[in-house]
Structure 1
Amino acid sequence: MAFGVADTIIAGRYSEGALAALSVGAAIFVSVYVSLMGVLQALLPVWAELHGANRGSEIGRSVRQSLYLAAIAVVVGMTVLLLPGPALRWTQVPADMRGEVEAYLAVLAFALAPALLFRLFSTLNQSLGKPKLVTWLQLASLIVKLPLSVWFTFGGAGLPAMGLVGCAWATLCVNWAMLGCAIWLLRHGAFYRDYQLWKRIEAPDWRQIRLFARLGVPGGLAVLVEVTSFTLMALFIARLGTAAAAAHQIASNLLAVAYMTPLSLAIATSARVSFWLGAGDATRARHACRLGFELTALFALLYAGAMAAFRTPLANVYSDNPAVIAQAAALLVTVAIYHVADAFQTLCVFVLRCYRVTLAPLVIYCTMLWGMGLGGSYLLAYRGLGPWPAMQSPLAFWLMSAIALALTALLFVALLRWTMKARAR
């Protein structure tokens, strides 16, 4: 996430046009990357249950089979990133912005494979209760990413200024370095030896891969709907001008930073719930879920309050343009409400996967986030909605999306309660 924060600040300091192009390019890349990451992240309950049931010897073969799923994900993702033209034309992104966006995405297409494989490594560690190693690797990568992004973007020491695409080149270099470190650790780390990861890879076991797909594909599609309901805002807002697009990028980046805490708590909670379900202890699984909700509520309210109270200073970190700062600060009050709803629905959907509930969340996402959220936002912004005239402002998108996400969170809480009661019976 800090990669995105760094790129947003650096692009904003480079030029307003680069920040606006980043808003569109990042929206497309995040839609692809996070959706495919959702497919792979859905494997966490599988490995956590094997770990909880003391069936560690089966984990190695399961991980090797997951590589086939990862390969499919890489091919699909690279195709979309290398051919973004239809999406840019459909959302009417200004023609003068498209060239920079396409160049940015072309570089990130080749950073996708190491990023997804590193996510697989991260998911394995989370399922085994060893997330700190991944944390240290990512912190180290940030130390490399920051100076590389500045150097490639602004130039210096004989290197010409690349602008926005320089941020993408820095990401590509760091992603491959992170994957190299992960492979070395898997090969030489004493912790991984008992899981027999380095046996010769077997032929595709389609029964196992279908099991992965039944969890991963609905999960990935649900994430796709959730993320695109958020990121497509950037593409629709781009037609309002560079100041509006830049303000939206600031608001969305701050929201994404705040989202890392509920996402982390959701991953941790689902890992423990799956572990105890695998161990046959439903009571401890429910206790882990309850603790996750308490922590999520605490941090969500804390972050929402900070975004609302410090909205102008936060916007000023990203830009020195008064028009951009004013628009971004106006958005952050609604963004704070959005964040609270986002935190609760994220925890619910991760825990529901532990109970193998994946299709119902997908249906709810499609109806609420695409229908009410994105569709309603577009009408309120450009056509008018009922008695309200067209707002012609990014605020329309954030208002409708916040309402849709709050209703989604309420439905997910009710679904999770019903699922856990049914499991107890």
Structure 2
Amino acid sequence: MASSELSRIARHAGTILVGQLAVMAFGVTDTLVAGRHSDAALAALSVGSALYVSVYVGLMGVLQALLPVWAELRGGGRGHEIGRSVRQSLYLAAACAVLGCGALLAPAPLLRWADVPPAMRAEVQDYLAVLAMALPPALLLRLYSTLNQALARPLFVTWLQVVGLALKVPLSIWFAFGGAGLPAAGAVGCAWATLVVNYAMLAVAWWMLRTQPLYAELAIRARIEAPDWRRLAEFLRLGVPAGLAVLVEVTSFTLMALMIARLGTVASAGHQIAANMTAVLYMVPLSLGLATSARVSWWRGQNDAGRARASLRTGLALAAGTALLLAAAVALLRNPIATLYAGSPAVAAVAASLLGWVALYHLADAVQAVCVFVLRSYRVTLAPLLVYGLLLWGVGLYGGQSLAYRGVGPWPALQSPAAFWMAGAAALATTAAVFLVLLWRVTRAR
């Protein structure tokens, strides 16, 4: 049983990981292309993508939280109910799309509040206007991805994401620099490339839903029913706290960068390298969390609480083991990694000093990530949101700012970005401990 669960979770997570890395490469592609086009394009992309990601990840979290619902139905042999549930989720996706498009089409007040230079605002607004059109297919693709993860068939989505990346690279270059009758569009061109790729991927996903035997028994393409308000309320109870929790995670990183900016360019650049490495490392526990959640929900659908707990233990052990290996690699190779990222010796030195903290940060991050996904399998979403808000914003951000600029108790102000990473690591370690206790109590009670 243990080896079988380990194999299933590892294989499922590995497939998701490849797709997640391909999606990350979308952003890397745009950054490289915009940077080659002009400094102005890169600056507009930096601001615009930060705003878009903040909107998208929160809405994505709402839809991704439906994974345990569909995995339980599959585990309980009620595949015929999945189709109706998926169709009802389209109403939720539509509401998310309306909210997201509204935010992306009206960024002017936020741009003024953030003191974005007036010369940059026009390009940022044009960039976000194009991404507003790209948001609905992105959210529908997230639903398709969540469905496949719940069905333990993530390979379809991974291939889709890899092929999407192969299309995204040449389109971003073409639209940004122009050619063959198209004018150069800079950062806005990267947004147009995203829009084309999103709709192309959605078309392929729809074709697969119509042709693949895997989906036949689900009857997804039946006529959509009127809104089932009871079911939609269940989706909201699960999805809204989950989406807000993801938003807290993302904004804790965004605000950390803003608070570190006052320490100067070298500190900000060193922090950016550490943050990028953290984001790449996080893809591993994210994939394991999704895979473990799907497996735990499957066993809950089978009404087998013992095997659900066994899958949870397997997923946590796998996350902890891989985190130890990755953290050790980062700690040992922090100087070469920093040198690879940075051309400036000063920036490389700051980054190397932070990567030691990144290693500790990742250990806690891996455990808490798997825990929060599995807690959703047990329909526990509000408590993690409160824990995130209190610890990531309170201890992590406020504690980091105090340690960096004012001092805490006997410790003087460090005047270093390391203060934020120390506080962040402490906050995540506490979060992981709280989530483990929550999981122990919930699994014992259920």
* Common fold by TM > 0.5: yes
> 153, 164, 180: which is aligned to 1:130?
153
Aligned to 2:107: 84
Q: Does 1:26 align with 2:49?
A: yes
> 26, 37, 46: which is aligned to 2:60?
37
Aligned to 2:218: 195
Partner SS for 2:323: helix
Q: Is the 8 A contact 1:373 1:400 kept in 2?
A: yes
> 346, 352, 356: which is aligned to 1:333?
356
Partner SS for 2:379: coil
The 5 A counterparts of 1:202-217 are: 202-217=225-240
The 5 A counterparts of 1:68-79 are: 68-79=91-102
Residue 130 of structure 1 and its aligned partner are, at CA, apart by: 0.9
Residue 362 of structure 1 and its aligned partner are, at CA, apart by: 1.2
Residue 281 of structure 1 and its aligned partner are, at CA, apart by: 1.1
Inter-partner Cα distance in structure 2 for 1:325 and 1:164: 28
Say what the alpha-carbon RMSD is for the aligned residues: 2.7
Partner SS for 2:141: helix
Residue 358 of structure 1 and its aligned partner are, at CA, apart by: 1.2
Partner SS for 2:200: helix
Inter-partner Cα distance in structure 2 for 1:8 and 1:331: 23
Aligned to 1:255: 278
Q: Does 1:179 align with 2:196?
A: no
Q: Is the 8 A contact 1:126 1:271 kept in 2?
A: yes
Residue 317 of structure 1 and its aligned partner are, at CA, apart by: 5.0
Give the unaligned 5+ runs of structure 1. Answer: none
Aligned to 1:300: 323
- Give the aligned residue type for 2:149: Q
Q: Does 1:170 align with 2:178?
A: no
> 279, 288, 292: which is aligned to 2:302?
279
> 360, 376, 380: which is aligned to 1:357?
380
Q: Structure 1 stretch 374-383 or stretch 120-129: which is displaced more?
A: 374-383
What percent of counterpart residues are identical?
65
Q: Matched residue pairs, number?
A: 423
Aligned to 1:368: 391
- Give the aligned residue type for 2:70: W
Deviations 1:56-95 (A, max 9, x none): 1111111010001111111112222233344445455566
- Give the aligned residue type for 1:415: L
Give the unaligned 5+ runs of structure 2. Answer: 1-23
**TM-aligned CA distance change 1:73 to 1:3, over 3 Å:** same
- Give the aligned residue type for 1:118: L
TM-score (norm 1): 0.90
Q: Is the 8 A contact 1:9 1:317 kept in 2?
A: no
Aligned to 2:69: 46
Q: Does 1:395 align with 2:418?
A: yes
Inter-partner Cα distance in structure 2 for 1:4 and 1:42: 24
Deviations 1:82-123 (A, max 9, x none): 333444454555666655544443332222211111010010
Q: Does 1:290 align with 2:300?
A: no
Aligned to 2:16: none
- Give the aligned residue type for 1:71: A
**TM-aligned CA distance change 1:3 to 1:219, over 3 Å:** same
Deviations 1:322-350 (A, max 9, x none): 55444434332222222221111110011
Inter-partner Cα distance in structure 2 for 1:12 and 1:160: 18
Inter-partner Cα distance in structure 1 for 2:32 and 2:200: 23
The 5 A counterparts of 1:57-76 are: 57-76=80-99
Inter-partner Cα distance in structure 1 for 2:63 and 2:374: 16
Q: Structure 1 stretch 178-187 or stretch 225-234: which is displaced more?
A: 225-234
Inter-partner Cα distance in structure 1 for 2:289 and 2:199: 27
**TM-aligned CA distance change 1:247 to 1:5, over 3 Å:** farther
> 331, 342, 345: which is aligned to 2:368?
345
Q: Does 1:407 align with 2:430?
A: yes
